[in-house]
């Protein structure tokens, strides 16, 4: 009977250790899920920012081109030396 008690205690101890291990794994998985969700949000925001910056770059390139054309037109109106 004493050996049964030790076995039951041993089993109980192992089950408790497994429960702790599972709780730790659940916590890690929950943190990974939260981090993954945060990274998805950040990634979406960065993609939106990239699109906005690319659009701004295009607008600026068009303005530079227009300014260059105006300067070239003004330069052609200058008298030759």
- pLDDT of res. 36: 98
- pLDDT of res. 80: 83
Largest CA distance in the chain: 118
- pLDDT of res. 4: 61
Express each pLDDT in 32-63 by its tens digit: 999 999 999 999 999 999 999 999 999 999 99
The pTM (predicted TM-score) of the whole model is 0.65
- pLDDT of res. 8: 86
Q: What percent of the chain shows pLDDT beyond 90?
A: 79
- pLDDT of res. 47: 98
In the chain, % helix, strand, coil (3-state, to 5) comes to 95, 0, 5
């Amino acid at each position: 009977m004493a050996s049964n008690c030790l076995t039951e205690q041993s089993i109980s101890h192992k089950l408790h250790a497994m429960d702790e291990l599972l709780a730790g794994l659940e916590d890690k998985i929950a943190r990974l899920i939260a981090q993954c969700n945060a990274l998805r949000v950040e990634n979406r925001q960065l993609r939106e920012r990239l699109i906005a910056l690319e659009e701004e770059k295009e607008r600026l390139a068009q303005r530079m081109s227009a300014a260059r054309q105006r300067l070239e037109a003004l330069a052609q109106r200058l008298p030759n030396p």
